[in-house]
């Protein structure tokens, strides 16, 4: 069957405006935010408006042997949504309805194109809270969050995306609709198929609906900031805080390079002072006396391990300023050049060693590397700054990216804490999980997608 036959069938399902083929337009859907990941030229970009249309797209592409690459807003940082030559990119952004908010059962039912921040705002009106908060929460979609099992700043207390999902609806490779999970608080009937699809990066099916768990809206947070003259002291503070049994709603770390960039960008002082090697920002949303107790313990721990400064505020504007500084790191680094952000998670006791390793790699490759991350769970984001017009600097940036992953693995960590594997870390996934783990992954993929219809070449090759 010809390509034109497929396009005609797709237009019959989606309408002319739902099938994009102009290369100047489809080029905008070729890749996500990761500059290192390979990408190709799609045959077409399709924009279904509901589950039934997704099913028809899948059936049409399967009949023509044309691969499908599911895509949300394109905010990913692993190349997981990157097109392959001749594929159909299936974009879910038109499926953007919040179908239900059930305050009594603390759940919501949403389509994949709902923007994370929009969901948070909608449930907040009911006194509820959707915890996952990736840094791109103001434009990333729930479908992309599900596909990559996205995290965020609040993971230390609330977990990653999978910890807030009760069930999903997924269009499989034969066009059938699989419904997983439940609406109840508990449920152990059968395999946990929901968790199988979350984080599968569109390689097993297309998620078209999710039932997500909500929490009571937290109290306005108090904020503690501590400055350290060494990363070792900051790392010791993190370990001690965990040992004390305190679970802040947020615990972030910034190294000296991140602090310098943010202060210059925001034209403000973070109170770190000269000679500050690391800044620790913690919040407690427990409210009232509970928040005071938590932050008092954290501040005392920081002082005990040698913090140059340990300061707590319950002023919302002041706390928001500190959090804005943390979220502004990547934007601030753009002053120095293009950035390439890594995603590696290590045991919390080894954060300082990872930061030291990044400093060594920075010296070796001759490029700025700024480290910022979620200290509460050990998920660090070393960010490499380079000149995109220089082939030599790009090659050194790529070398640094891989060297950081190697350090992370050597410290007992994982090559991705929240960004996913995508098309940039396939060989690293194989290295981390080993041949038996890779064989099991391939077996699952083959069982659910025998013709390799969905996102071929992402996460791993079929071999």
Cβ neighbors of 127 (< 8 A, separation 6 or more) are: 103, 216, 217
Q: Which of 102, 63, 265, 262 is nearest to 184 (CA)?
A: 102
Query: Residues 224, 299, 376, CA angle at the centre, nearest 5°?
Result: 65
Backbone angles phi, psi at 187, to 5 degrees: 170, 120
d(CA 401, CA 128): 39
The angle subtended at Cα 259 by Cα 75 and Cα 317, nearest 5°, is 80
- Whole-angstrom CA distances from 313 to 11, 221, 237, 271 are 57, 9, 19, 13
**Distances in Å between the alpha carbon of 286 and those of 155, 221, 261, 293, 294?**
15, 7, 31, 10, 8
- Provide the whole-model pTM: 0.93
- Please calculate the CA angle 210-286-375 and round it to the nearest 5 degrees: 75
Measure the CA–CA gap between 104 and 184, rounded to whole angstroms: 12
Cα–Cα nearest to 370, from 286, 253, 224? 253
Q: Kindly list the distances between the CA atom of residue 463 and the CA atoms of 261, 317, 425, 436, 454, in Å, as whole numbers in the listed order.
A: 44, 54, 16, 13, 16
pLDDT in tens, the chain (463 residues): 589 999 999 999 999 999 999 999 999 999 999 988 999 999 999 999 999 999 999 999 999 999 999 999 999 999 999 999 999 999 999 999 999 999 999 999 999 999 999 999 999 999 999 999 888 889 999 999 999 999 888 888 999 999 999 999 999 999 999 999 999 988 899 999 999 999 999 999 999 999 999 999 999 999 999 999 999 999 999 999 999 999 999 999 999 999 999 999 998 887 666 779 999 999 999 989 999 999 999 999 999 999 999 999 999 999 998 888 888 898 999 999 999 999 999 999 999 999 999 999 999 999 999 999 999 999 999 999 999 999 999 999 999 999 999 999 999 999 999 999 999 999 999 999 999 999 999 999 999 999 999 999 999 998 7
**Domain annotation for the chain: domains and CATH numbers:** 3-91 (3.30.43.10), 98-216 (3.30.465.10), 222-410 (3.40.462.10)
Partners of 98 in the β-ladder: 110
């Amino acid at each position: 069957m010809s390509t034109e036959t497929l396009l005609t069938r797709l237009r019959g399902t989606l309408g002319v405006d739902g099938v994009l083929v102009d290369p100047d337009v489809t080029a905008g859907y070729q890749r996500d935010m990761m500059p290192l990941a390979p990408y190709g030229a799609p045959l077409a970009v399709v924009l279904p408006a509901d589950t039934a249309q997704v099913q028809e797209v899948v059936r049409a592409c399967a009949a023509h042997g044309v691969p499908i690459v599911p895509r949300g807003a394109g905010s990913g940082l692993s190349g997981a949504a990157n097109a392959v030559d001749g594929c159909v990119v299936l974009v879910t952004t038109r499926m953007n309805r919040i179908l239900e908010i059930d305050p009594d059962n603390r759940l919501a039912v949403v389509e994949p194109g709902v923007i994370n921040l929009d969901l948070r705002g909608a449930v907040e009106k009911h006194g509820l809270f959707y915890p996952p908060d990736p840094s791109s929460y103001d434009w990333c979609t729930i479908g992309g969050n599900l596909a990559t099992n996205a995290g965020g700043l609040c993971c230390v207390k609330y977990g990653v995306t999978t910890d807030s999902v009760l069930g999903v609806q997924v269009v499989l490779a034969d066009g059938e609709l699989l419904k997983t999970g439940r609406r109840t608080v508990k449920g152990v009937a059968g395999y946990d198929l929901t968790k199988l699809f979350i984080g599968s990066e569109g390689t097993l099916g297309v998620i078209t609906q999710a039932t997500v768990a909500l929490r009571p809206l937290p109290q306005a947070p108090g904020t503690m900031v501590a400055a350290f003259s060494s990363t070792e002291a900051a790392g010791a503070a993190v370990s001690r805080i965990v040992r004390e049994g305190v679970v802040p709603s947020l615990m972030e770390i910034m190294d000296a390079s991140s602090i310098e960039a943010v202060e210059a960008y925001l034209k403000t002082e973070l109170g770190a002072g000269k000679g500050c090697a690391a800044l620790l920002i913690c919040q407690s949303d427990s409210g009232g006396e509970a928040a005071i107790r938590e932050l008092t313990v954290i501040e005392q721990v920081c002082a005990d391990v040698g913090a140059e400064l340990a300061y707590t505020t319950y002023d919302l504007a002041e706390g928001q300023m500190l959090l804005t500084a943390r979220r502004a790191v990547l934007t601030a680094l753009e002053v120095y050049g293009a950035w390439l952000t890594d995603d590696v998670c290590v045991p919390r006791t080894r954060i300082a060693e990872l930061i030291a390793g990044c400093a060594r790699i920075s010296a070796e490759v001759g490029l700025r590397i700024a480290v910022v991350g979620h200290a509460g769970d050990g998920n660090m984001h070393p960010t490499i700054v380079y000149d995109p017009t220089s082939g030599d600097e790009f090659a050194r940036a790529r070398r640094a990216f891989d060297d950081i992953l190697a350090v992370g693995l050597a410290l007992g960590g994982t090559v991705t804490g929240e960004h996913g594997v995508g098309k940039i870390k396939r060989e690293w996934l194989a290295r981390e999980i080993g041949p038996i783990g890779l064989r099991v992954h391939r077996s699952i993929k083959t069982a659910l997608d025998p013709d390799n219809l969905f996102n071929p070449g992402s996460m791993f090759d079929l071999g």
